[in-house]
Amino acid sequence: MRFTVAQVRTPLAGELRVPPDKSMSHRAVLFSAMAEGTSGLKGVLDSADVRSTIGAVRALGASVTLAPVADGSLAGTVTGWGASGPGSPDSPVECGNSGTTTRLLAGVLAGWPIRVELRGDESLSRRPMGRITGPLEQMGARFETADGCLPMSVLGTSEGLALEYESPIASAQVKSAVLLAGLRAQGRTSVTEPAPSRDHTERMLPLFGVSVGRAEESCRAWVDGPVIPTAAQVDVPADPSSAAFPAVAASIVPGSKVTLSHVGLNPTRTGFMLVLERMGVDLSIAVDDHGATEPVGTIVVSYRDRLVATTVTEQEIPALIDEIPVLAVIAAQADGVTRFEGVGELRVKESDRLQAIVDALSTLGVVTNVDGDTLEVTGLAGQPFSPAEGALFDSLGDHRLAMAWAVAGLACATPIAIDGFEAVEVSYPRFIDDMASIGAW
């Protein structure tokens, strides 16, 4: 699908409730499938990635009755396999484009004596799995991979070994995979990271009756096994990563004011908001409810003239890794050189996002520089982007790139087109309609 975006001539205005949180939706479905009993879920994101997790747990024996409701999310029940464990499927489990499905599921399966083959689409099949297979093999599981990538067979064990793992990277997927394997191991399994990463797993597991220890000052989390989760009730808030796109759009379109409601305000997910504030964006946050596991609130973003460059340090990156493409767009509109340090992880996301950002910003007339794992963007100080007539961008099948280039198109002197725009179905199926409702096109 090709989508065309033209410079918007009037301010963006209105209120949006962006789709449910993708990271939390994955976990709500997966933890319910692991649990004893029937869990009630609402606010689950209806997207391609989450559908992959739903299909995977069904293939492994969970009963899922989630169905669309009026607001476009999924609600219903999941009856888990509990103490009986997942079943051996007759065919490979398809994970689509979802790295979260693949990596977390590998941790779940590591503690059960079954063999399961995980497959993915072309993009997912290029993403490295060694970062999880390494520690999980230390816990007793075995893996057969295609040069460290999918397809991957998981050969679990009923005699899981507890592990004290010092992760070389801050990654919520790695941490979660190890902790989930630890639920089946004898003794304490811990993960220590070099910097804080998303902590949805640590926050949600207690809802399912699993005690999680945390030492925030040392970025360490642990579980004591063996333990079987029990059924819970989960209400998933709106996704802060999805909120980043209308937030940046309002920040670069003069006169705009956009309200984003019921957004998850987990501190490990709000790093991009701090960056926007440093750049001079008029942004206010009000916590409306602390919820069962996550704070939830309202974000109001208003345009302010003369945005300024900033430095995003390596320590900040884990809390905003998914927002870097759209943050690069606002950096390109700021005054000065914005530095993103320690962004090498972008090379192994759904696409090589680092190279994609460089290529796209160059097409927009923006100077960039990559030095090792540091990206520098020289902003245009509020001047419109200047792509050539008929400029065409490729989403590379990456939902966050597709949406980031659409936001950039609102500040382009000439219309641009984006190929592969259907990629937005992965996390934000209503993106075109929601942005239209606030005046983007």
Question: Which residues are annotated as catalytic?
Answer: 322
- A 10 A CB-CB count for 288 gives 14
**Contact predicate 401/377, CB 8 Å:** no
Q: What is the Cα–Cα distance from 381 to 392, expressed in whole angstroms?
A: 24
Concatenate the DSSP letters of all residues of 256-303 into one string. -EEEEEEEE--TTT-HHHHHHHHTT-EEEEEEEE--SSS-EEEEEEE-
- Report the sign of the C-alpha dihedral through residues 274, 371, 333, 347, in that order: negative
Query: Which ranges of 76-220 does DSSP label H, i.e. alpha helix?
Result: 99-109, 130-138, 172-182, 200-204
Could you tell me whether strands 416-419 and 3-5 are parallel, antiparallel, or unpaired per DSSP bridges? antiparallel
Selection from 92, 84, 43 nearest residue 63 by Cα: 84
Enclosing H/E stretch for 16 = strand 13-16
CA 369 centroid distance within chain: 26
Structure tokens at 128: 């490295």
Helix (H), strand (E) counts: the chain: 12, 24
- Report the sign of the C-alpha dihedral through residues 239, 245, 246, 248, in that order: positive
Enclosing H/E stretch for 155 = strand 149-155
Q: Count Cα atoms within 13 angstroms, Cβ side, for 76.
A: 16
